[in-house]
């Protein structure tokens, strides 16, 4: 019996899954014990294969910190996917991912091989849809996600990076095997991983996006929208830059946090420079959920839905006017991804009562679309 299953049995874990679980697991790779934290929502009972999201911590951080800082657990509880937080190894006393940083070039740690072994191990124990394995991460974890897109693309459907980038080594050795949806979230005032890059160790974000636009064969001219500046006190705004028309329907996207720092937008752990206009975890999952390893996942019956939501901002209710004849399910989430309201829209005009909710930003998921709602006093 492998090491992971022995550990799970010692923790009282039984199959099939019947309740929410947070499991500390380990595997041996290259004769090194490698650790991870696995989060299994109650909704994932083993009866259906579900997506897997890899969430990599930053340099000097760890899996536990990333689980809380870049939190997807409430989203996983309602959307039904497994979360795994891998643990890096030590370099000069700090945990890191071996992506070719200067000073770590002598490291022989094979983090790509570890990730491949971890995916295989989890797939042997749980019902995972191997066409829907995604990678995201913070800072060094974002670099790691791009490394996987380049060197383990046969197992990675899409990647999203928050404050990360690509090293020159990753760029020069990139050998992605399929069109790869990419979402880059980055602050222009990032003092750790500079937005304009550093020629010795990190690409400018513009060059990173350009590389994936070209690789994915996206249209050269993007569409750019500006998110509402819902929090005037955070000192930043967000532009969403989308390059569409890629092979297999993939997109290359960039959420540019103008004035934002080296932070995870709307994290429950608020650090200086944190944007509050978007929730990075919600945006990443909404992005991932549109794709599998073969490209875009189409939902034909909802492709032509048009929605007008008003008033927004609102101090009580919102009204939805839809050009759609079928019933449509909706979910309302908190800024941190907790499901608050569920229902079904049965007519072309529907009112949703938000009067009992405190003033804040909320996300309304309607069919295959997500809308931001601002509730005021």
Q: CATH no. for residue 349?
A: 2.60.40.10
Domain identity same for 119 and 184: yes
Residue 11: what pLDDT?
38
Domain identity same for 228 and 347: no
Residue 10: what pLDDT?
35
Domain identity same for 332 and 187: no
Residue 304 scores a pLDDT above 80? no
Domain identity same for 118 and 100: yes
φ, ψ for residue 254 (rounded to 5)? -135, 125
Residue 48: what pLDDT?
95
Q: Above pLDDT 70, what percent of the chain?
A: 90
Residue 183 scores a pLDDT above 60? yes
Residue 283 scores a pLDDT above 80? yes
Mean pLDDT of the chain: 90
Boundary-marking domain end, from 261, 280, 297: 297
Boundary-marking domain end, from 263, 297, 331: 297
pLDDT digits (tens, 9 = 90+) for 132-141: 999 999 999 9
Domain identity same for 75 and 160: yes
Domain identity same for 205 and 259: yes
Domain identity same for 94 and 14: yes
Average pLDDT of the residues in 299-327: 75
Least confident of 13-17, 156-160, 286-290: 13-17
12 pLDDT band, cuts 50/70/90, is very low
How far is Cα 182 from Cα 40, in angstroms, rounded to an integer?
25
pLDDT digits (tens, 9 = 90+) for 83-139: 999 999 998 789 999 998 876 666 889 999 999 999 999 999 999 999 999 999 999
How far is Cα 151 from Cα 55, in angstroms, rounded to an integer?
17
Sign of the CA dihedral running 289, 21, 117, 127? negative
Between 51 and 20, name the one with better pLDDT: 51
Which range marks the domain in which residue 13 is found?
Answer: 3-297
Domain identity same for 141 and 238: yes
pLDDT digits (tens, 9 = 90+) for 21-66: 999 999 999 999 999 999 999 999 999 999 999 999 999 999 999 9
Domain identity same for 81 and 200: yes
Domain identity same for 292 and 334: no
Residue 322 scores a pLDDT above 80? no
Domain identity same for 169 and 243: yes
How far is Cα 223 from Cα 241, in angstroms, rounded to an integer?
6
Please answer whether residues 63 and 23 qualify as being in contact, where contact means their C-beta atoms are separated by less than 8 angstroms: no
Boundary-marking domain end, from 238, 266, 297: 297
Beta bridge partners of 318: 352
Q: CATH no. for residue 69?
A: 3.40.50.1820
Domain identity same for 274 and 288: yes
Question: How many structural domains does the chain have?
Answer: 2
């Amino acid at each position: 019996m492998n090491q992971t299953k022995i550990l799970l049995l010692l923790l009282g874990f039984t199959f099939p899954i019947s309740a929410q679980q947070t499991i500390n697991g380990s595997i041996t790779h290259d004769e090194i014990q490698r650790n991870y934290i696995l989060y299994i929502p109650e909704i994932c009972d083993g009866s259906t294969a579900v997506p897997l999201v890899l969430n990599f911590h930053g340099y000097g951080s760890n899996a536990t910190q990333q689980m809380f800082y870049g939190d997807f657990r409430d989203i996983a509880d309602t959307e039904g996917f497994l979360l795994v937080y891998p643990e890096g190894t030590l370099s000069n006393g700090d945990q890191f991912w071996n992506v070719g940083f200067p000073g770590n070039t002598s490291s022989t740690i094979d983090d790509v091989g570890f990730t491949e072994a971890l995916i295989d191990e989890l797939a042997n124990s749980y019902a995972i849809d191997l066409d829907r394995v995604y990678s995201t991460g913070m800072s060094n974890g974002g670099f790691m996600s791009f490394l996987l897109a380049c060197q383990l693309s046969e197992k990675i459907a899409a990647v999203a990076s928050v404050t990360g980038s690509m090293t020159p080594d990753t760029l020069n050795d990139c050998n992605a095997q399929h069109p790869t949806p990419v979402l880059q979230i980055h602050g222009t005032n990032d003092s750790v991983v500079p937005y304009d890059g550093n020629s010795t160790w990190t690409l400018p974000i513009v060059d990173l996006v350009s590389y994936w636009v070209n690789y994915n064969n996206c249209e050269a001219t993007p569409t750019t929208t500006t998110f509402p500046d819902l929090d005037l006190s955070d000192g930043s705004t967000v532009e969403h830059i989308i390059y569409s028309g890629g092979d297999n329907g993939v997109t290359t996207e960039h959420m540019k946090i103008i004035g934002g720092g080296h932070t995870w937008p709307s994290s429950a752990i608020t650090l200086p420079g944190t944007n509050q206009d978007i929730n990075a975890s919600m945006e990443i999952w909404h992005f991932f959920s549109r794709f599998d390893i073969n490209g875009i996942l189409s939902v034909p019956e909802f492709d032509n839905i048009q929605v007008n939501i008003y008033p927004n901002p609102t101090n009580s209710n919102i009204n939805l006017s839809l050009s759609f004849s079928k019933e449509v399910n909706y979910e309302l989430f908190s800024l941190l991804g907790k499901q608050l309201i569920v229902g079904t829209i049965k007519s072309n005009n529907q009112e949703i009562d938000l009067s009992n909710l405190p003033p804040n930003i909320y996300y309304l998921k309607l069919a295959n679309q997500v809308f931001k709602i601002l509730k005021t006093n």
